[in-house]
Amino acid sequence: MDIVVCLKQVADPGSVEIDPGTGRVEEKRSVYVTHPADLSALEAALALKEQLGGRVSVLSLGPARTERSLREAWAMGADQVLRIWEDDWENVCAPHFVAFALAYFIKKMPCDLVLCGDGGGNFHASEVPAWLAEYLHLPFITGVVALHREEKLQTMTVKRKLEKGKRQVLRCELPALLALSESFSQPRRWAMPDLLAVMQAEIPVAPLLLGTVARMIPPHVSRDMIYQVRPLRPPAQSIDSPDCSLPGAERINRVVSGGMSGKKSELVQGSPEQAARAMVAFLEAADLITKRSQEN
């Protein structure tokens, strides 16, 4: 059984710091680790290999730091590792671009099953498995917490988690793409001699120019790329400041109601134009909108 596992590195949440001036993540201070759900997918692949035989190939798209995760996968028992990277990928994080690059190389490999981690880290990584299944034209199941394949059948029984602790049992034909939950299994620890043996080994790198990917992506898929990811910073809004001479309870009511406390309701009758003018006048009187300039 030939299994392909896709690994990615994510920033350790404990190391993420935000620059207060720009609101951006300080990349240089972040410590990157292998995504825990991807490690569960690798453990599932190695367990299937021990049960049914075959090969486990591990792919990862990322810069040189990604090689540490690939070496760990190699020491755990993977038969083949491959890093996909090119210099013009540095600022690209669009999920469909990443998925297409992975699919480009997976199509060249013998493959009965593709395993990924469910859920994402940074840069919308959780969307990549869905795009990958689309490009590979494979059945796609998410939230997998258990799987079983009988040796003589080309089908796999999968248990996936649903909302409120529910579980769903599905049967799918192979080849297929499964996104495994982090709770699927506890990844095995590599033996120190195996890790030392691969520390100096050369990790093969497959270049793929960004322009090549952009030309090969199907026309119905958006070719827009995300170059920056920033936290949401909504515009500042004014807060009603109640008159200090008012009683404490009244000032609290004004603050909680946004300045609307104590305003008398008024029923406006007439045409829609008259109702709209009355509403605008009411909001202007409450200083909730800027007053209109007088028309000539």
Beta-strand runs (E) in 47-175:
55-61, 80-84, 113-117, 140-148, 155-161, 167-173
Q: Are residues 87 and 148 in the same domain?
A: yes
pLDDT tens readout for residues 69-78: 898 888 888 8
pLDDT tens readout for residues 196-236: 777 878 888 887 765 566 566 665 555 454 444 455 566 66
Please report, for the domain that includes residue 186, its CATH number: 3.40.50.620
Mean pLDDT of 121-141: 78
User: What is the model's pLDDT at position 238?
Assistant: 67
In a domain, 189, yes or no: yes
In a domain, 221, yes or no: no
Say yes or no to pLDDT of 8 above 60.
Answer: yes
Q: Are residues 156 and 105 in the same domain?
A: yes
Classified as helix, coil or strand, 74 is helix
Say yes or no to pLDDT of 295 above 60.
Answer: no
Band of the pLDDT at 6, cuts 50, 70, 90? very high
Q: Are residues 9 and 106 in the same domain?
A: yes
Q: Are residues 114 and 203 in the same domain?
A: yes
DSSP assignment of 246-278: S-HHHHHHHHHTTT-TTPPP----S-HHHHHHH
Out of 216, 249, 277, a domain closes at: 216
Q: Are residues 189 and 98 in the same domain?
A: yes
Q: Are residues 133 and 266 in the same domain?
A: no
Band of the pLDDT at 128, cuts 50, 70, 90? confident
Q: Are residues 169 and 95 in the same domain?
A: yes
Mean pLDDT of 21-45: 81
The token pair that represents 97 in the structure block: 């671009």
| Cα–Cα distance for residue pair 37/181, rounded to 1 Å | 6
Band of the pLDDT at 260, cuts 50, 70, 90? low
How many domains does the structure of the chain reveal? 2
Residue 159, beta-bridge partner list: 146, 169
In a domain, 249, yes or no: yes
Q: Residue 139's domain spans which residues?
A: 2-216
DSSP state of 201: S
Classified as helix, coil or strand, 203 is coil
- What's this model's pTM, rounded to 2 decimal places? 0.67
- The answer to whether 178 touches 141, Cβ cutoff 8 Å, is yes
Residues 6+ away with beta carbon under 8 Å from 3: 45, 48, 49, 54, 55, 56, 57, 111, 112, 113, 114, 115
User: What is the model's pLDDT at position 282?
Assistant: 82
**How would you classify the pairing of strands 32-34 and 9-11?**
antiparallel
Q: In angstroms, how far is CA 27 from the centroid of its own chain?
A: 17
Q: Are residues 189 and 272 in the same domain?
A: no
In a domain, 209, yes or no: yes
In a domain, 81, yes or no: yes
The token pair that represents 226 in the structure block: 């995300």
Band of the pLDDT at 296, cuts 50, 70, 90? very low
